Amino acid sequence: MELHSRDQRDLDKGARVFNWVRIISKCIGVWPLEPNYYLFNICFVYFTYIMITELINLFYCLPNLKRVINNLTESLAFTHMYVRTLMLRVHIKKLGEIISECLKDYHVSAFRNSDEVQEFLMYVKKGKFFVKAAGIFVISTAASWYIRPITSPSPPQNNETSFTYVLPYKFHVFYKISDYRTYVLTYLSHSPFVVISGVGAVTSAWLLIILSFHVTGKLSVLASRIHALKYKGVRFRSDLNEIISEHSRLLAMGKGIKSSYAIALLIYFINGTILLTIIGYQILVTLISGVSHNLMPYFVFILTVYLVISIFCILSEHLLAQCNNVRDAFWTCGWYDHPNCMKDIAFCINRGQKPLGLTAGNFLTFSNSTLTDVTKTAMGYLSILRNFLLSE
């Protein structure tokens, strides 16, 4: 009984990670179990207006290459935040169903012994670590970008002006800023964007991390149960039925996560590659100009892009590994001693041929090689932009 209570306490601690997501996602009304569509619509209309002003600014930057790249550095980053926030709303019902299924697993009745609980919680703890890391980097990036004009002010443009009115973002302003009061009010009017975009990005990332590690942990437990089938004897059939039911449930949850994030991951994969190229170019321009004190936001931005892509690769690799582990476990479970179960096990092995890796659309499955491919592609593009820079 004491062991049972300790396991339940450990599971309760593991489930607290969902409270973190619930608290922050409610800021813009996208907590899947209690959505606030009125609040979300207000936030999303504001987000859409901001994206329109960003595109207007991009139009006015043409054909100046330097100004276009400065705009794209922000607009591409904001585009994937916009899409990820939108995808939360589009798939909010599906995500709510997956979260409800996950919460059922935080009770000792979902496990057979303490070893299974600890095996599952090992992956939950990994998820918590990545949640904290992703949250810190995303929040620090958003905050550092917003306060950049304050921490790294631009020099005066001419001898007559002692203060340059630099706004945190490249949003088009439909009026002229000619005094300090107008500048401060305009600056503050951009602050809701930090909250909305940051909360959308953090919520999307946290849900993906938590749900992926949850499914991975349950697949690991399931593989252990399948390996134990060879020792069940007369209970082989009844235990196999339970395992098949659990396997089907986990596959459905995994496919739900995969489909909910496919578009968002595709946009991030494309934008991440382009952003690494553009930010690398920005660093080169800054170094050549000799204004090295402006580099910190760029380095934080690059670290965030790499961190998020790395997390996607790690999540996908864990899912792929555990799916293969389950498939191999079925193959070695002693099926040859139970002829009446052969078809069911063959069916489970066949289902395991399509593992639950995270995908960018239907084109690419994230894996350890993805990060290398992104870096190589980005460096290739950067070398081309570098030639343009040297020619100037």
Mean pLDDT by 10 residues, the chain (392 residues): 75 91 93 93 93 91 82 85 91 94 91 89 92 84 80 56 72 85 89 90 92 94 87 78 90 92 89 84 74 67 79 89 89 77 83 81 83 81 71 57
Q: What is the pLDDT of residue 31?
A: 94
Q: Compute the CA torsion angle 18, 140, 262, 52 (nearest 10 deg).
A: 120
Q: What is the pLDDT of residue 119?
A: 92
Whether 218 and 318 have beta carbons less than 8 Å apart is answered as: no
Q: What is the pLDDT of residue 142?
A: 81
Whether 72 and 271 have beta carbons less than 8 Å apart is answered as: no
Q: What is the pLDDT of residue 44?
A: 93
Q: What is the pLDDT of residue 294?
A: 62
Q: What is the pLDDT of residue 335?
A: 72
Reduced to 3 states (helix: H, G, I; strand: E, B; else coil), residue 364 is: strand
For residue 339, whether the previous peptide bond is cis, meaning omega lies within 30 degrees of 0, is: no
Could you give the CA distance from residue 86 to residue 186 in angstroms, rounded to a whole number?
Answer: 26
Q: What is the pLDDT of residue 290?
A: 64
Spatial CA neighbour of 47 closest among 188, 148, 195: 195
Q: What is the pLDDT of residue 392?
A: 56
Q: What is the pLDDT of residue 161?
A: 47
Could you give the CA distance from residue 80 to residue 267 in angstroms, rounded to a whole number?
Answer: 6
Q: What is the pLDDT of residue 43?
A: 93
Whether 366 and 360 have beta carbons less than 8 Å apart is answered as: yes
Whether 93 and 37 have beta carbons less than 8 Å apart is answered as: no
pTM exceeding the 0.85 threshold for the entire prediction: yes
The pair phi, psi for residue 91, each rounded to 5°, is -105, 25
User: Distances in Å between the alpha carbon of 197 and those of 57, 193, 202?
Assistant: 19, 6, 9
